[in-house]
Amino acid sequence: MNRVLPADAWNAYEDFRTRTLSRIPSALERLIYIASTRDYNSGVYQHEGLAGRFGAEAAASALEYAHWEVFQAVSLLSLRRLTEELCKYMDSSREVPSAFLNAWQKLEPYRVAIPLRVDPTIAELFNSNVKIALAVLRHRLAERPDPPQAALLPPSPAPQSPLPFRS
Amino acid sequence: MEYILISTAVAGIVLFVAFFLHSAREAREEYPGTGVTRFEPGDFWSDAGRSASAALSGIFSSEDEQFIASEAGKQVNALFRRERKRLALRWIERQKREAAGIMSRHRDASRRAADLLPSNEVKLFVRYARLRLTFEFLAVSVWLVGPQRLRGLAEEANAVFHGMQNAKTLGGDN
């Protein structure tokens, strides 16, 4: 028995961790996937598969906990590791690197990956580290620009997320 | 000669009292105690303090500095230094406000307490004064040389802060 979640939420968390999160290769992708299960308006996490098996409340608690846990892990990565993670994520997005970096540096979509209840120091460290990691990738790109073929490719017609569908 | 000594002592006391009153005012203004999330024991985010301590290692890390120095150009290096300095100063300010808030709440509770132990009060006050001085020194040092060489001092300040929090916890509400 754990001390952080009620039993049903813990079971939902274990199920989510073993069946879904374990299939996502990098911590940053896991973070973005979990954040995407949160409703922007209410802040409530929703996952039909988990809710069907364990109930909506347990599923939401499990996802909130998983989000918090993964966010802590990503925020405390060294800059070297975070840059690698971001590079992998950029590759998996199949976007042209310069387009990806433009979007991430201007729109800062990573800010929506921050859990609602989190220590402000950790949240600031996360934002700052992603900002620096993006600058490192931009610097690498400037030294090795996109190949002309890739730059001429039309934009992808739909998001090509490597992440599994919600069960 | 005596006149100079007395004047110095009086000036010291005045400065000390002013310092204390300033801290108390800060605590009232910046840490009202409402709107701050209070976590129930057993909630997973209740160990946020431990995570913040881990974040401290990240902010004051020299490993990241080495990575940036080896990997990136001048612009990224400048961004890294600016960001780390900003984070470190924000953390120091937050800890100062938190410590002032603890003292403010403690003083309010002390006024109502019937079983105050003067020795505990003195210990807590000395710890608070030491903490404030350490944070002031740390802030100036971060501003001058950046946080990467100050991890030891930051960890020490953090330990004193948590010691103060624990002393408060052990002492209950008074």
Q: Tens digits of per-residue pLDDT, A87-139? A: 999 998 889 999 999 999 999 999 999 999 898 999 999 999 999 999 999 99
Is a pLDDT exceeding 70 seen at residue B41?
Answer: no
CA distances from A105 to A135, A150, A163 (A): 8, 20, 22
Phi and psi torsions of A144, nearest 5° = -130, 85
Q: What is the pLDDT of residue B33?
A: 37
Mean pLDDT of B111-122: 80
The band of B107, judged by pLDDT with boundaries at 50, 70 and 90, is confident
Nearest Cα to Cα of residue B44 among A17, A57, A71: A71
Residue of A2, A64, A132 best to disrupt the B interface, most CBs of B under 10 A: A132
B72 has a chain A CB within 8 A of its CB: yes
B61 has a chain A CB within 8 A of its CB: yes
pLDDT digits (tens, 9 = 90+) for A29-76: 999 999 999 998 999 999 999 999 999 999 999 999 999 999 999 999
Predicted TM-score (pTM) of the model is 0.76
CB atoms within 10 A of CB B40: 7
Conformational region of residue B38, where left means phi above 0, alpha means psi within -120 to 50, and beta covers everything else: beta
Q: What is the pLDDT of residue B173?
A: 45
Mean pLDDT of A13-33: 93
With beta carbons less than 8 A apart as the criterion, state whether B100 and B20 touch: no
Separation between Cα atoms, residue B61 and residue A41, nearest integer Å? 36
In sign, the C-alpha dihedral spanning B59, A76, A133, A107 is negative
Is a pLDDT exceeding 50 seen at residue A152?
Answer: no
CB-based contact A72 B56, cutoff 8 Å: no
B41 has a chain A CB within 8 A of its CB: no
Q: What is the DSSP letter of A165?
A: P
Lowest mean pLDDT among A77-86, B79-88, B128-137: B128-137
CB-based contact B87 A125, cutoff 8 Å: yes
Give the residue numbers in A contacting B (CB under 8 Å), as ranges: 3-5, 65, 68-69, 72, 75-76, 78-80, 83, 117-122, 124-125, 128-129, 131-132, 135-136, 139-140
Q: What is the pLDDT of residue B18?
A: 58
Q: What is the pLDDT of residue B14?
A: 67
Instruction: Record the tokens describing residue B43, joined without a space.
Output: 């909630």
CB atoms within 10 A of CB B156: 13
- Angle (CA) A92 A97 A99, round 5°: 115
Is a pLDDT exceeding 80 seen at residue B50?
Answer: no
Q: What is the pLDDT of residue B26?
A: 46
Q: What is the pLDDT of residue A70?
A: 95
Separation between Cα atoms, residue A36 and residue A13, nearest integer Å? 16
More confident residue, B72 or A147: B72
Q: Which residue has the tokens 């929703």?
A: A46
Rg of chain A (C-alpha set): 17
